[in-house]
Structure 1
Amino acid sequence: MAGTGGEGRGLFHRITGGVTERVVDLVDPDIVLDQVDVDALVARIDADALLARIDMNALLARVDLNALLDRVEMDPLLDRVDPDRLLARVDVAALVSRIDPDELMSRLDPNALLDRVDMNALLARVDMNSLLDHVDMNTLLDHVDLNALLAKVDVEALLAPVDLEALVRRSGVPELVAESTNQLAGSAIDLVRRQLVALDVVIDRIVSRLLRRDPDTQPVGPPLLLVTEPAPAAGPRLTVSGHYAGPVTRAAAAALDVAIITTSYTLGIAGLGFLAGVFLGTTFDDLNDNGPIAVGALAVWAFLYSFGSHAVAGRTLGKGIVGLRVVGRDGSPLSVRRAFVRTLAFPLSALVFGIGYLMVLVQREHRALHDLIAGTASVYDWGERSAEIPGPLSAFLARQSG
């Protein structure tokens, strides 16, 4: 019976299976689905119960995320995202609290980040004044190692594009140095000049006493110079600008001129001899010895030096160094005619043991013989600075006058 029953059920299954297959083959699924009320079907499904029975881990384990993302079109998806609503729902505090800064910085490539930064645009948006207002410069400088900073500075490269010459010119350093040098040199020269003037005053006082003259009644200078000379400023030194020059200063000027004439003559003859030897094959031996030709050439050079200097500037180089100037007897500028006559008459002062020069000691206006012949006089003239007597002697003269 059992075997009969088993055979019967097997036969039944075969028959029903065949019929089912036949029916499925004959049934059109589309027609069947058209007859199904999907809404009513879905309404009868208990979604919570359905999801409760789904093993999400097993489901996600079977999902190929890469394949899924490959099939997602991101642009339309992002277009449908409302960033404001999305950010409004983000708990920033909770998000930041879950960030590990160390791990984040370790995964950050600063070089790549900086490559993507537009520094010009970034700096354009920075308010430098506001930024500097917040900087504590003292604290900042306390943290700066100046030695290390300067050690890394390439001074040569830093100064390479700098026009130092133009910078120095604009700073006024050359003018300052020149002015300081001129003042220093002028002060040193003026110191020597004051000592010469002091000797002139002392000798003049001694000669006046020997000749029984009152020093306060002696003429001090040409009338025109005394009228035009401004009153000296109050100070420790008396001014003698425009006053007749004394014997010591004039002797110093003459000594300097003699040295300048002989030195320049010697150098000139040596230079001419060298050039003549190179180009002409001869020498100026006659001008190098002590014969008449050499003496005559030296005298001509001395005449040209003295006449040219007085005619052009009213003084020679030696007179300019000690601070003297030759003027007309009344103080007018020296004319060319007077300069010529004075130069011609100059040797006459050397006759008869130099009595013409010694007249400077005893003559009231300290004029030598050649000054009397040419109608000239030598006066103190230090250019833009006032000719002065040293302070102690000035004080002594002031007490004597008082």
Structure 2
Amino acid sequence: MADAHAEGRGLFHRITGGVTERVVGVIDPDIVLEQVDVNAVLDRIDADALLSRVDMNALLARVDVNALLDRIEPDDLLDRVDPDRLLARVDVGALLARVDPNELMARVDVAALLARVDPNELMARVDPDALIGRVDMNALLDRVDLNALLAKVDIEALLADVDLEALVRRSGVPELVAESTNQLAGSALDLVRRQLVALDVVIDRILNRLMRRDPDAQPVGPPLLQVAPAVEPAVARRGGARLSVSGHYAGPVTRGVAAAADVAIITTSYTLGIAGLAFLSGIFFGSSLDDLSGRGPLAVATLAVWAWFYSFGSHAVAGRTLGKGIVGIRVVGADGSPLSVRQAFVRTLVFPLSALLFGLGFLMILVQREHRALHDLIAGTSSVYDWGERAAEMPGPLSAFLARQSA
């Protein structure tokens, strides 16, 4: 009985299997799937229960990851990702807590990384002002232990690589010191010059009174050197500035001090020169120069020749000797034109004439309206105040006094 029942079931399965194969062969699966509501089917599936029955390890072991990645288009995938939502779901603290920075940096080739970075391009994209503006410098310095920082600095090694000489030159300190020294020396020299000018002016006004001359009618300088006053009389009256005397005829006191300075320079340079020649003559020739270093006629004649060349050469080249340059006067033509070589030669040649007859030629500087000596009249020259790049000035009180007298 059981065998008959089993045989019946087998026959039924064979019949239904054959029918199913014929139906599947005839029916189009696409037509069937179109009639299926996939969403309704998925709604009836318990995804959690389904996944709990899946062996993920076995599943992943059968997946070819490389082939899978080859079939994925990264750009399309990233376009569909919302970075904000993704980052919102990431616990950054927990993520960083699981990262070992030391191990991470150990695996990074810093040199290779920096070699791929263009510093210029990186700095071009950085706004230093904005970056520094965001830094609280006070808070930063408060957190820095300057003593500990300086203790770690090898000052000697640091200075060993510094070219201090070049650093000083680039800082302009030598020029600053030189300029300050020059200004200090120039200020002291100008102070002395102003006092000499003041004495000239006072003596000139006294002599004009004695000779009953109108001070305002006297010529102040050669025509070519006459310019408008550097300071308005009203300003000088208030004591706010000094009157300029650049290009005015030099007075007797200034010219006398210049002559005394030149005499000292001539005698000193002659003495040193003769001493040097005597020393060299004794070494190379075994003889001395007693005739030149004594007070004999030869010594006097040699000194006179040296004085003549000193005066002529200085006037021909610069229009002034060293002594005149110190007190701030210059020799020019009678009309104010630059001194020519011919005028310098004639002036030096006839200079001794002013010393004749008890120095009457020099006394003409006091009484002559243009303060010209005899040798100036013969050579057609005159001496004027000239302090180079700076204006020749009278002292402030004297400037204010003269301004009030002319008001």
The normalised TM-score by structure 1 is 0.68
Structure-2 change in CA distance of 1:220 and 1:96 (3 Å):
closer
In structure 2, what is the Cα distance between the partners aligned to 1:135 and 1:78?
47
1:315-350 deviations in whole A, cap 9, x for unaligned? 000001111011111111111111111112212212
Shift of 1:92: 9.1
1:262 pairs, out of 264, 267, 290, with: 267
The amino acid that maps onto 2:367 is V
1:238 maps onto 2:232 in alignment: no
Shift of 1:112: 6.4
* Structure 1: gaps spanning 5 or more residues: 1-75, 83-87
Aligned to 1:380: 385
Aligned to 1:189: 189
Shift of 1:176: 3.1
Q: Map residues 81-92 of structure 1 onto 2, 5 A cutoff.
A: none
1:274 maps onto 2:279 in alignment: yes
1:249 maps onto 2:243 in alignment: no
Aligned to 2:114: 120
Shift of 1:208: 1.0
In structure 2, what is the Cα distance between the partners aligned to 1:134 and 1:155?
31
In structure 2, what is the Cα distance between the partners aligned to 1:399 and 1:163?
59
Moved more, 336-345 or 163-172: 163-172
The amino acid that maps onto 1:120 is L
Residue aligned with 2:153, SS: coil
Aligned to 1:6: none
Structure-2 change in CA distance of 1:175 and 1:249 (3 Å):
same
Q: Percent identity?
A: 71
In structure 2, what is the Cα distance between the partners aligned to 1:271 and 1:156?
48
Aligned to 1:209: 209
Structure-2 change in CA distance of 1:111 and 1:269 (3 Å):
farther
Report the number of matched residues: 316
In structure 2, what is the Cα distance between the partners aligned to 1:337 and 1:380?
22
In structure 1, what is the Cα distance between the partners aligned to 2:94 and 2:228?
89
The amino acid that maps onto 2:197 is V
Shift of 1:281: 1.7
The amino acid that maps onto 1:225 is L
* Structure 2: gaps spanning 5 or more residues: 1-62, 70-85, 236-240
Aligned to 1:323: 328
Residue aligned with 2:331, SS: strand
The amino acid that maps onto 2:385 is Y
In structure 1, what is the Cα distance between the partners aligned to 2:319 and 2:347?
11
Aligned to 1:299: 304
In structure 2, what is the Cα distance between the partners aligned to 1:184 and 1:213?
40
Residue aligned with 1:144, SS: coil
1:242-291 deviations in whole A, cap 9, x for unaligned? 11100000011001101110111111111111111222222211111111
1:10-31 deviations in whole A, cap 9, x for unaligned? xxxxxxxxxxxxxxxxxxxxxx
Aligned to 2:375: 370
Moved more, 334-343 or 111-120: 111-120
1:333 maps onto 2:331 in alignment: no
Residue aligned with 1:245, SS: coil
Moved more, 270-279 or 312-321: 270-279
In structure 2, what is the Cα distance between the partners aligned to 1:201 and 1:354?
22
The normalised TM-score by structure 2 is 0.67
1:181-203 deviations in whole A, cap 9, x for unaligned? 32222221111111100000001
Structure-2 change in CA distance of 1:195 and 1:114 (3 Å):
farther
Residue aligned with 1:382, SS: coil
Structure-2 change in CA distance of 1:317 and 1:137 (3 Å):
same
Which structure would you say has the larger Rg?
1
In structure 2, what is the Cα distance between the partners aligned to 1:370 and 1:156?
68
In structure 1, what is the Cα distance between the partners aligned to 2:132 and 2:113?
19
Aligned to 2:162: 162
